[in-house]
Structure 1
Amino acid sequence: MLKVLWLCSWYPNKRAPFEGDFVQRHAQAASLYHRIHVIKVTPDPEDLGVTFEQQQNTEYPNLTEEHIYYPKKPGVSGKLRSYFYWFHLYKKAVRRYISVYGKPDLVHVHIPFKSGLVAQWIKKKYGIPYVVTEHWDGYNTVVDDNFYERPRWFRSIVRNTFHKATGFHSVSRYLVREINQLGKEIPSVVIPNVADTRIFFKKQKERQQQFRCVHISSGAPKKNIEGIIRAFGQLPASSFSLTVIGLEPRLNVAYKERYPWIRWIGVQPYNIVARELQEADLLIVFSNAENSPCVIGEALCCGVPVVSSDVGGISELINDQNGLMIPAGDEAALVNAIRFVEAHYPDYNATKIASDASTRFSYAVVGQQIDRWYQGLKNPS
Structure 2
Amino acid sequence: MHILIIPSWYPVSEKDLKVSFIREQAESLLKYDANLNVGVLNSLLDDMYSFSGMPLFNRIIKTRENGLNVYRSKCLNWFRRVPFLGLKIWIYEGMKLAKRYIREHGKPDIIHAHFMFYGGLLAARVSKKYNIPLVITEHNSGYARGFVKQWQLNLGIKAFSQASQCIAVSKNFAAYLDKKYKLPNNSWVYIPNMVSDIFFEYPLGCKNSKKDYFTFTTICHLNSNKGVDVLIKAFAKCFNNKKQIRLVIGGDGN
Residue 68 of structure 1, CA deviation:
1.9
Q: Is 2:225 the counterpart of 1:226?
A: no
- In 1, the alpha carbon distance for the partners of 2:43 and 2:90 equals 7
Q: Which amino acid aligns with 2:64?
A: Q
Q: Given the superposition, is the C-alpha separation of residues 17 and 160 from structure 1 closer, same or farther in structure 2, using an over 3 Å criterion?
A: same
Indicate the residue corresponding to 1:3 in structure 2.
2
- In 1, the alpha carbon distance for the partners of 2:90 and 2:198 equals 37
Residue 135 of structure 1, CA deviation:
1.4
Q: Is 2:63 the counterpart of 1:55?
A: yes
Check conservation: 1:26, 1:194, Cα contact below 8 A. Answer: yes
Which runs of structure 2 are paired with 1:323-334 in the superposition (5 Å)? Answer: none
Indicate the residue corresponding to 1:336 in structure 2.
none
4+ residue segments displaced more than 4 Å: 185-189
Which runs of structure 2 are paired with 1:122-137 in the superposition (5 Å)? Answer: 122-137=126-141
Indicate the residue corresponding to 1:72 in structure 2.
77
What are the superposed Cα offsets for residues 195-242 of structure 1, whole Å, 9 maximum, x if unpaired? 222465315711325544333333433433333333444521643333
Aligned residues: 238
- In 1, the alpha carbon distance for the partners of 2:106 and 2:227 equals 48
Q: Which amino acid aligns with 2:165?
A: G
Q: Can you give the 5+ residue segments of structure 1 that lack an aligned partner in the other structure? A: 252-381
Check conservation: 1:42, 1:69, Cα contact below 8 A. Answer: yes
Q: Is 2:42 the counterpart of 1:40?
A: yes
Other structure's SS at 1:13 match: coil
Residue 47 of structure 1, CA deviation:
4.4
Check conservation: 1:172, 1:192, Cα contact below 8 A. Answer: yes
| Partner residue of 2:156 out of 158, 162, 180 | 158
Other structure's SS at 1:22 match: helix
Which runs of structure 2 are paired with 1:276-291 in the superposition (5 Å)? Answer: none
Q: Given the superposition, is the C-alpha separation of residues 239 and 67 from structure 1 closer, same or farther in structure 2, using an over 3 Å criterion?
A: same
Check conservation: 1:98, 1:104, Cα contact below 8 A. Answer: yes
- In 2, the alpha carbon distance for the partners of 1:125 and 1:209 equals 61
Residue 35 of structure 1, CA deviation:
1.6
Check conservation: 1:9, 1:113, Cα contact below 8 A. Answer: yes
- In 1, the alpha carbon distance for the partners of 2:190 and 2:234 equals 34
- In 2, the alpha carbon distance for the partners of 1:238 and 1:172 equals 34
Indicate the residue corresponding to 2:145 in structure 1.
144
Check conservation: 1:11, 1:20, Cα contact below 8 A. Answer: yes
Q: Given the superposition, is the C-alpha separation of residues 226 and 178 from structure 1 closer, same or farther in structure 2, using an over 3 Å criterion?
A: closer
Check conservation: 2:128, 2:162, Cα contact below 8 A. Answer: no
- In 2, the alpha carbon distance for the partners of 1:131 and 1:67 equals 21
Residue 95 of structure 1, CA deviation:
0.8
Residue 247 of structure 1, CA deviation:
4.6
| Partner residue of 1:96 out of 97, 100, 105 | 100
Indicate the residue corresponding to 2:20 in structure 1.
21
Residue 18 of structure 1, CA deviation:
2.4
> As a proportion of its length, which structure holds more helix?
1
Check conservation: 1:47, 1:70, Cα contact below 8 A. Answer: no
Other structure's SS at 2:92 match: helix
Other structure's SS at 2:73 match: strand
- In 2, the alpha carbon distance for the partners of 1:216 and 1:199 equals 12
What are the superposed Cα offsets for residues 103-148 of structure 1, whole Å, 9 maximum, x if unpaired? 2112222111112332332233222231211112344xxx32244x
Indicate the residue corresponding to 1:261 in structure 2.
none
- In 1, the alpha carbon distance for the partners of 2:213 and 2:41 equals 47
What are the superposed Cα offsets for residues 235-268 of structure 1, whole Å, 9 maximum, x if unpaired? 21643333322253xx5xxxxxxxxxxxxxxxxx
- In 2, the alpha carbon distance for the partners of 1:244 and 1:123 equals 41
Check conservation: 2:6, 2:113, Cα contact below 8 A. Answer: yes
Deviates more, 1:228-237 or 1:24-33: 228-237
Other structure's SS at 1:71 match: strand
Residue 38 of structure 1, CA deviation:
0.8
- In 1, the alpha carbon distance for the partners of 2:44 and 2:8 equals 9
- In 2, the alpha carbon distance for the partners of 1:246 and 1:18 equals 9
Check conservation: 1:170, 1:192, Cα contact below 8 A. Answer: yes
Percent pairwise identity: 23
Indicate the residue corresponding to 1:239 in structure 2.
244
What are the superposed Cα offsets for residues 151-177 of structure 1, whole Å, 9 maximum, x if unpaired? x21111111111221112233333332
- In 1, the alpha carbon distance for the partners of 2:21 and 2:200 equals 15
Deviates more, 1:35-44 or 1:227-236: 227-236
What are the superposed Cα offsets for residues 315-347 of structure 1, whole Å, 9 maximum, x if unpaired? xxxxxxxxxxxxxxxxxxxxxxxxxxxxxxxxx
- In 2, the alpha carbon distance for the partners of 1:200 and 1:65 equals 30
Q: Can you give the 5+ residue segments of structure 2 that lack an aligned partner in the other structure? A: none
Residue 187 of structure 1, CA deviation:
6.2
- In 1, the alpha carbon distance for the partners of 2:71 and 2:169 equals 24
Q: Which amino acid aligns with 2:224?
A: P
